[in-house]
Amino acid sequence: MGKSEELFKRAKKVIPGGVNSPVRAYQAVGGVPRFISKADGARIIDEDGREYIDFVGSWGPLILGHARKEVLEAVCKAARNGLSFGAATRAEVEMAELIKEMVPSVEMVRLVNSGTEAVMSAVRLARGFTGRPKIIKFEGCYHGHSDSMLVKAGSGLMTGSLSSSAGIPEATANDTLVAQFNDIDSVARLFEYNPSQIAAVITELVPGNMGLVLPKEGFLQQLRRFCTENGTLLIADEVITGFRLGTGGAQELFGIQPDLTTFGKIIGGGLPVGAFGGRRDIMSMVAPCGNIYQAGTLSGNPLATAAGITQLLILKKHPEIYSRISALTQTLADELTKQIQKYDVPATVNHIGSLFCMFFTNSRVESYDDTHSCNVNVYATYFNYMLRQGIYLAPSQFEVGFISDAHTEDDIESLLKKTEKFFRKNAF
Ligand code: HOZ
């Protein structure tokens, strides 16, 4: 028995499913989750000493790769000064200033500990600001695991074929209205049936939790218009896309001005962080300025801010990183597409910036409904084949792949070669 297997056995006795987040459990692909002991650059090493080229990157934070020297040094330096004060620090101010500078729609920002917290707080704020109860979200979008967001959500729920979580009070679920991403009529209908009731529309600007779905031309702009016309706030969930699709995130790329934005992942450089921010008039309602309460002992933690600031400053100083990782992703997508055609594989590749997803379906994937045509069994076989070949992909068809600055052309080549071997060996 390998060490991962041994640990998984022990883990299952004391941790639900043996994991601390369902997407790690390999339930959709079968087999034993790899227990990771260390990582460096684009490589992770499991407890059995096996090395993998990592295309998950801790689900997004590690845009510079694992254990980036400057980030580690900043964290170690901060740690020597104390791990947590539960009091205000200079680094929090610097981090807030940096986010505001890089994302102009953010006039004020509050740091929290995760993307979930950021969304939960932003939704409460939207309700408090507008005095309205309802929220529109999109099917297949995932905004963390706060109650009102676990209705028809993506990521682990979609992977586990759970349309919504149990344990959500009916009243809460009823206040979460669900529309279809890229279908503006589905949004219009909800506005029509719920006049003056909708506090906010929340969306991933580029959904990355049902695989990768790109916004159709004009969709986000129409959404913005609907919100403005109806006195509804637009909350952009940029937990994945923030500082990944450029220093200004997806909102800069698509020219969208949200009222509120949620962040996580990259702003923590691998440590637990989230943030929500936006218009000054709205953010001014957060306690202690206003009466919408939000708090946290570890919010703005000195280690997390040290890692986040360092990573953000590197990205700001070296915007060429974005062109480099986008070019690697473009090559990957182009070459995969050629292989798909050559071997007549029922698959299609979506990509943007340094995000990619190969869906095992003949059709294009432009909506949540389109994802239903994917053959998850083929994905499971592909995943396990790649894992044996030393390539670490997301253990679900409905997650995305991440390219970091630590990936090289050889790493991309390796993924391509092994995929081609898989395509050649299997009949589709
Ligand atoms: N958004 C991430 C996956 N799509 C979260 C990772 C997790 O749930 O553990």
Round to whole Å and give the CA distance between 244 and 276. 17
Ligand 1 neighbour 23 (Cβ under 6 A):
yes
Query: Can 334 be counted among the known catalytic residues?
Result: no
Query: Can 142 be counted among the known catalytic residues?
Result: yes
- Reported as a single tens digit per residue, the pLDDT across 307-330 is 999 999 999 999 999 999 999 999
Ligand 1 neighbour 209 (Cβ under 6 A):
yes
The pLDDT score that the predictor gives to residue 323 is: 98
Catalytic pick from 134, 137, 152, 265? 265
Ligand 1 neighbour 155 (Cβ under 6 A):
yes
Tokens found for residue 287: 């306690």
- Reported as a single tens digit per residue, the pLDDT across 141-152 is 999 999 999 988
> pLDDT category, 124, cuts 50, 70, 90?
very high
Catalytic pick from 46, 54, 175, 237? 237
Which CATH number applies to 3-55+319-425? 3.90.1150.10
Determine how many CB atoms are found less than 10 A away from the CB of residue 288. Answer: 7
For ligand 1, the distance from its centroid to the CA atom of residue 230, given in whole angstroms, is 32
The pLDDT score that the predictor gives to residue 428 is: 79
Tokens found for residue 321: 């990183």
Which CATH number applies to 69-317? 3.40.640.10
Of 15, 19, 20, 21, the residue with max ligand 1 atoms within 8 A of its CB, to mutate for a pocket test, comes to: 21
* Ligand 1 atom with least separation from CA of 155: 4
For ligand 1, the distance from its centroid to the CA atom of residue 277, given in whole angstroms, is 21
Ligand 1 neighbour 156 (Cβ under 6 A):
yes
Indicate whether 156 pLDDT > 90. no
3-55+319-425 and 69-317: same fold?
no
Indicate whether 163 pLDDT > 80. no
Q: How far is CA 258 from CA 62, 76, 115, 203, 255, in A?
A: 25, 36, 17, 10, 10
For ligand 1, the distance from its centroid to the CA atom of residue 59, given in whole angstroms, is 6
What is the end-to-end Cα distance of the chain in Å, rounded? 33
- Reported as a single tens digit per residue, the pLDDT across 24-51 is 999 999 999 999 999 999 999 999 999 9
Do 34 and 392 meet the contact criterion of CB atoms below 8 Å apart? yes
Indicate whether 63 pLDDT > 80. yes
- Reported as a single tens digit per residue, the pLDDT across 209-235 is 999 999 999 999 999 999 999 999 999
For ligand 1, the distance from its centroid to the CA atom of residue 212, given in whole angstroms, is 13
For ligand 1, the distance from its centroid to the CA atom of residue 94, given in whole angstroms, is 27
The pLDDT score that the predictor gives to residue 416 is: 98
Average pLDDT over residues 89-114: 98
Indicate whether 159 pLDDT > 90. no
The pLDDT score that the predictor gives to residue 154 is: 87
Query: Can 12 be counted among the known catalytic residues?
Result: no
pTM assigned to the model: 0.97
> pLDDT category, 157, cuts 50, 70, 90?
confident
Average pLDDT over residues 405-423: 98
The pLDDT mean for the chain works out to: 96
> pLDDT category, 173, cuts 50, 70, 90?
confident
Ligand 1 neighbour 59 (Cβ under 6 A):
yes
Indicate whether 60 pLDDT > 90. yes
Indicate whether 186 pLDDT > 80. yes
Determine how many CB atoms are found less than 10 A away from the CB of residue 112. Answer: 27
The pLDDT score that the predictor gives to residue 155 is: 84
The pLDDT score that the predictor gives to residue 290 is: 97
Query: CA neighbours within 13 Å on the CB side: how many for 263?
Result: 34
Domains of the chain, by residue range, sit at 3-55+319-425, 69-317
The pLDDT score that the predictor gives to residue 349 is: 98
